[in-house]
Every structure is written in structure tokens, then in C-alpha cells.
Amino acid sequence: AQSVTQLDSHVSVSEGTPVLLRCNYSSSYSPSLFWYVQHPNKGLQLLLKYTSAATLVKGINGFEAEFKKSETSFHLTKPSAHMSDAAEYFCVVTWGTGGFKTIFGAGTRLFVKA
Amino acid sequence: DTGVSQDPRHKITKRGQNVTFRCDPISEHNRLYWYRQTLGQGPEFLTYFQNEAQLEKSRLLSDRFSAERPKGSFSTLEIQRTEQGDSAMYLCASSPVPVAATNTEAFFGQGTRLTVV
């Protein structure tokens, strides 16, 4: 069975400090993994994706994530948080032909303090 | 704007009424998805179309829910005899058919927020 666990429902950081949002997954298949961000009153936006190429994936706005198969993890990081990063972040697993089967994690709300 | 658009953005309805939502995907995208998102949760998959064919339906999609994509372009999601538990954000997404078995990301609309009173 496939599953996604986001280990923290809320993360609070100060502006300028590193961000770590944790995601573990379980999949019987070779999954594709994504991180999406959801700002209030806006649609989900893709941050980055892993599709079995490089294990360290760079995304938009300075975010990156590392796929670790041995740990079944796909944690999202950013070296220095900005106020505009405050949002809800979702880790997503897809599988099936062309990835139409999808599971979202429950989300992690990131708060950034001035 | 060439993104995924959903209409209406907000809908308030009385319990027992029927509602219909529309989604216009990105024009060249063959795949279209519907999700439901309740407060504090991630989106849950409801159904998926490739062109006009509905290829997958979640067990979440009860008999009161029906989705169509008659010409392989826009899609509608209808909920009959709405219940308070149907209150949620309904998200539509589209994606192209992937090339070389690489899973592609979905592009999401802003959603339709349904409130059943």
C-alpha cells in the first residue's frame, strides 16, 4: 500500500534561519515524489519533483529536497526562510501508469517569524 | 490566463440541494483530476479522466457524486442531495500525458469552496 506521512503538522522558524519539513513515504512501486505549496486563497503550486533521476532535487524559491530510498524519506529544506514562505506544504506520492494515482500528505503549516 | 480555472469559486447551498461545479483545464492537457480538501487535511483523490474517459473513481465518490468530461475538454462535478459533510474545497487539476514514463506534475485550479448549511 502507498502512504505519505508528514511528520510535523506545524513548523515555526525565524526569518533567515533554515527550514526543514519532513516527509516519509511508503510505496510498493517506484514512486514519483512531489512537494506542493498552498498559499491562502491560492491554488496548489509545484515546488519540486523527484522522478528517479538525481536524488537531490532543486525547486523554486530556493527549496530543495533529497530522496533517500533507504530511509523512505523526501524532506524539504531551505537554507534561509523568508516571510513569504509562510504557507501550507504538501508532500505527494504518485504511481501508476504516468502517475495518475496520487496520495497527499496531511500538510505542514510553516510559520515564519520576523 | 492559461491556467486551470474553476467556477464558481464559492458556493453556499442548503442541505438537500444539488450543486454543479465546472473545471476548465489547461487546453493541451489530456488528463483531468478532481480532489476534495477538508480543513486541515491534504487533498483526497476523487476521480480522474483521460480525455473523455473516466478511468478511476475513489471510494470517496458516493452515488450522489457524478463527474463528466463529455468532449474531453471541460469537466463538471455534480453533487446531488448535498449533506453538511460535503462541505469542503473541491479542487480540479490537469496534466499532460507523460512522455517516457516520467510522472508529470498536475496543475491545480484555485478550487470551489462548498458550504452546505
Model pLDDT, residue A55: 87
CA dihedral A53, B96, A40, B110 (to 10 degrees): -170
Nearest CA in chain B to A35: B105
Q: For chain A, where are the E strands, in sequence order?
A: 3-6, 10-14, 19-21, 23-26, 32-38, 44-50, 56-58, 64-68, 73-78, 87-95, 101-104, 108-113
Is B102 a residue whose pLDDT tops 80? no
Residues with Cβ < 8 Å from A50, sequence gap 6 or more?
A: A32, A33, A34, A57, A65, A67, A74
DSSP state of A57: E
Does residue B46 contact residue B61 with C-beta atoms inside 8 Å?
A: yes
DSSP state of A9: S
Is B1 a residue whose pLDDT tops 60? no
Q: Do A100 and B105 touch (CB under 8 A)?
A: no
To the nearest whole Å, the CA of A6 is away from the closest chain B CA by 10
The burial of A30, by beta-carbon neighbours within 10 Å (0-12 exposed, 13-18 middle, 19 or more buried), is given as: exposed
Query: Mind giving me the DSSP string for B80-92?
Result: SS--GGG-EEEEE
**C-alpha distance across the termini of chain A, in Å:** 41
Interface-testing mutation among A33, A102, A108, with chain B (most B C-beta atoms within 10 A): A102
Is B12 a residue whose pLDDT tops 60? yes
Does residue B31 contact residue B98 with C-beta atoms inside 8 Å?
A: no
- Interior angle at CA B26, CA B20 and CA B27, nearest 5: 100
Residues in chain A with CB shorter than 8 Å from the CB of B101 are: 97-98
Q: Do A45 and B103 touch (CB under 8 A)?
A: no
To the nearest whole Å, the CA of B64 is away from the closest chain A CA by 22
Q: Is B38 on the interface with A (CB under 8 A)?
A: no
- Inter-CA distances, A22 with A19, A32, A34, A41, A62, Å: 10, 16, 13, 24, 17
Q: Is B53 on the interface with A (CB under 8 A)?
A: no
Q: Do B108 and A107 touch (CB under 8 A)?
A: no
Does residue A10 contact residue A109 with C-beta atoms inside 8 Å?
A: yes
Cell 484555485 -> residue: B110
Q: How far apart are CA B113 and CA A53, in angstroms?
A: 37
Nearest to B109 among A32, A43, A98 (CB): A43
Is A35 a residue whose pLDDT tops 90? yes
Residue of B114, B69, B101, B71 lying closest to A53 (CA atoms): B101
Q: Do B110 and A43 touch (CB under 8 A)?
A: yes
**pLDDT grade for A29, boundaries at 50, 70 and 90:** confident
To the nearest whole Å, the CA of A105 is away from the closest chain B CA by 6
Q: Is A37 on the interface with B (CB under 8 A)?
A: no
- For the stretch A76-85, pLDDT in tens is 999 999 999 9
Share of chain B above pLDDT 70, in %: 94
The burial of A35, by beta-carbon neighbours within 10 Å (0-12 exposed, 13-18 middle, 19 or more buried), is given as: buried
Which B-chain residues 82-101 have CB contacts (< 8 A) with chain A?
91, 93, 97-98, 101
- For the stretch A63-77, pLDDT in tens is 999 999 899 999 999
Model pLDDT, residue B99: 62
- For the stretch B58-101, pLDDT in tens is 888 889 999 999 988 999 999 999 999 999 999 999 988 766 55
